[in-house]
Amino acid sequence: VAFSHGFHGMTLGALALTANDFFRQAGGVPLEHVVRLPFETAAGGGLKGLEAYRAALEDASSGQTPPAAFMVEVIQAEGGVNVASPEWLHAVQELARDVGALFI
């Protein structure tokens, strides 16, 4: 799982997590298998966004499978400055732990 407005670098693996489609396409290969959720400060984000994702993971009919990891930029600076609150980070970490995923 990666979050909206995130930029993780220009290597191929990092591009897969980067939110900006323009940068992802620069890799020249399909970069799939990443679930993107709204960052805390984005529309649909915050604790309610995480709760909705948790509910989907707990619903066997949702089609969602647990992710391997949650990749979070605590301070996003690509296209503005977005800072995650301690409460939101704790909630992401708790969700990761509950579904057996890494918290990066």
Question: What is the per-residue pLDDT across 14-72, written as a single tens digit (0 to 9) for each?
Answer: 877 788 788 778 778 877 789 999 999 998 889 999 999 999 999 999 999 999 999 99
Is the pTM higher than 0.75?
Answer: yes
Q: What is the model's pLDDT at position 92?
A: 98
Range of the domain at 39: 2-103
Alpha helices per DSSP H over the chain: 12-17, 21-25, 46-58, 86-99
Higher pLDDT: 20 or 73? It is: 73
User: What is the CATH classification number for the domain harbouring 10?
Assistant: 3.40.640.10
Number of compact structural domains in the chain: 1
**Residue 54: exposed, middle, or buried by beta-carbon count in 10 A (0-12, 13-18, 19+)?**
middle
